[in-house]
Amino acid sequence: MANMHNQIFNIQLKNNKRNFECSENDSILEGGLRHGLAMHYECSNGTCGACVAKLVDGDIKQIKHHDFILSDDQKNQGEFLMCCNAPTADVELELDLIGDVKSIAIQNIEIKVKKVSFINDNLAIITVRTPRSKTLQFMAGQDVELSFKGNTSRYPLASCPCHGMELEFHIRNMPEDAFATALFDKKIKSKSVIDLEGPKGIFVLKESSTRPMAFIAWDSGFAPIRSLVEHAFSLEMPNPVYFYWAYPADEQSPYLENHAKSWQVIMDDYTYTPIACKFDRSNKNDCQKVAKQIFNSLDLNIINQSDLYVSAPAEVLIYLGELLLENGLNESQLIASPI
Ligand code: FES
């Protein structure tokens, strides 16, 4: 327990080896999400009833009013809403966690742009907020569709579910991408309202795997890798983490390199390797050359023992995947996401 004013309690999940710590001032839902648990919830404010759990042992207190009405039967069974209750002792709970991407419904949410940061002429980082009453439920590594005045594109989320209402996207200025064009034409700016539909995709973490985790990103393919690594950290996964970040050699360094380096401080067993790739931007066939340069920079002794997550353009993925599978990687270890 931390101190007299802010006690911390242990929340144990029955039928599951998972447990997490939660302050007496936080709802059990907030505590669980912060520790990377994929919990069922929608509104976070006591309206929808999606966050029902059953108290098996210990004590809780209601910290928020809720409009959702639990039946007498539910109350007698010890059921309560996790978004409106905090622990007052160590507790044991019975609840269903989200098992896989199929159990998350597609959501349509109006989001508001909080900030647009232009990293250079053709890369922007956009931060948006969901309404407090409608947080996006997703698994780290997934993507969503964003629409602004009829311009729709699909992007991976760079944030982790543990970041709550704040979502981040890394967007390259591609002429064929109408949403990106609106962004770089400054039509999308702070306070703009955007429609979000998602989540989509199956680029998610193998949470129960004990293998080391190796991640390879090409340029802005860093976005979903960031989501996965930060989710692994919030889950306190002990697996060693190796991150290879390939980027165009004509840029000085990968665009958020300090962020990638800062993971060294929070993870005991983390290795970061930047890979500067020389290629001709005007020559589409150079994807093979890029794949070869990435492959030559990898430590195959590590890669072949790891779960390997790769986020890169489809053409690079095809060549790199072939090289890896020919050189000892088992197909079941490769998790790939085209950007
Ligand atoms: S999340 Fe809706 S009631 Fe708790």
- If one residue of 28, 43, 135 were mutated to test the ligand 1 pocket, choosing by the most ligand atoms within 8 A of its CB, it would be 43
pLDDT tens for residues 184-225?
999 999 999 999 999 999 999 998 899 999 999 999 999 999
According to DSSP, the β-strands at 213-218 and 307-312 are: parallel
Query: Under DSSP, is residue 333 helix (H, G, I), strand (E, B) or coil?
Result: helix
Three-point CA angle 139, 144, 145, nearest 5°: 170
Amino acid at 51: C
Please, where in the chain does CATH 3.10.20.30 lie? 8-97
Atom number of ligand 1 nearest to Cα 46: 3
Phi, psi dihedrals of residue 198, rounded to the nearest 5°: 165, -170
Contact 214, 306 (CB under 8 A): yes
Q: 3 pLDDT exceeds 70? A: no
In DSSP notation, 51-63 reads TEEEEEES-EEE-
pLDDT tens for residues 265-278?
988 899 999 999 99
The answer as to CATH 3.10.20.30 being correct for domain 8-97 is yes
Host H or E run for residue 213: strand 213-218
* Any ligand 1 atom below 6 A from CB of 50: yes
- If one residue of 26, 30, 41 were mutated to test the ligand 1 pocket, choosing by the most ligand atoms within 8 A of its CB, it would be 41
CA atoms within 13 A on the CB side of 140: 28
Phi, psi dihedrals of residue 320, rounded to the nearest 5°: -65, -45
The architecture in CATH of the region 102-200 reads Beta Barrel (2.40)
Q: 1 pLDDT exceeds 50? A: no
pLDDT at res. 209: 93
Average pLDDT for the chain: 92
CA atoms within 13 A on the CB side of 183: 30
Ligand 1, atom 3, residue with closest C-alpha: 46
Would you place residue 112 in the very low, low, confident or very high pLDDT band (cuts 50, 70, 90)? very high
CA atoms within 13 A on the CB side of 220: 18
Strand order in the sheet with 166-172: 151-156, 143-148, 193-200, 107-120, 123-129, 166-172
- If one residue of 26, 33, 48 were mutated to test the ligand 1 pocket, choosing by the most ligand atoms within 8 A of its CB, it would be 48
d(CA 288, CA 166): 37
* Any ligand 1 atom below 6 A from CB of 28: no
Cα distances from 124 to residues 129, 174, 219, 223, 317, in angstroms, run 17, 12, 12, 12, 23
Query: Under DSSP, is residue 67 helix (H, G, I), strand (E, B) or coil?
Result: coil
pLDDT tens for residues 12-21?
998 777 889 9
Strand order in the sheet with 241-248: 270-277, 241-248, 213-218, 307-312, 334-338
Q: What is the mean pLDDT of residues 231-235?
A: 91
pLDDT at res. 282: 72
- Determine the longest span between alpha carbons in the chain, in angstroms: 68
Contact 323, 292 (CB under 8 A): yes
How many residues would you count in the chain? Answer: 339
Q: What is the mean pLDDT of residues 286-303?
A: 94
Question: Could you tell me the distance, in angstroms and rounded to a whole number, from the CA of residue 192 to the centre of ligand 1?
Answer: 27
pLDDT at res. 18: 81
Using N-to-C axis directions, what is the helix angle for 222-234 and 257-266, rounded to 10°? 10
Would you place residue 43 in the very low, low, confident or very high pLDDT band (cuts 50, 70, 90)? confident
The CATH code that applies to domain 213-338 is: 3.40.50.80
Atom number of ligand 1 nearest to Cα 41: 1
Phi, psi dihedrals of residue 149, rounded to the nearest 5°: 45, 50
d(CA 155, CA 199): 10
Please, where in the chain does CATH 3.40.50.80 lie? 213-338
Q: 56 pLDDT exceeds 60? A: yes
DSSP assignment, residue 44? S
pLDDT at res. 145: 97
pLDDT at res. 214: 98
Would you place residue 4 in the very low, low, confident or very high pLDDT band (cuts 50, 70, 90)? low
Among the ranges given (160-164, 245-249, 305-309), the one the predictor scored with the smallest mean pLDDT: 160-164
pTM of this prediction?
A: 0.86
Amino acid at 261: K
Please, where in the chain does CATH 2.40.30.10 lie? 102-200
**Count of C-beta atoms within a 10 Å radius of residue 4:** 6
Contact 315, 302 (CB under 8 A): no
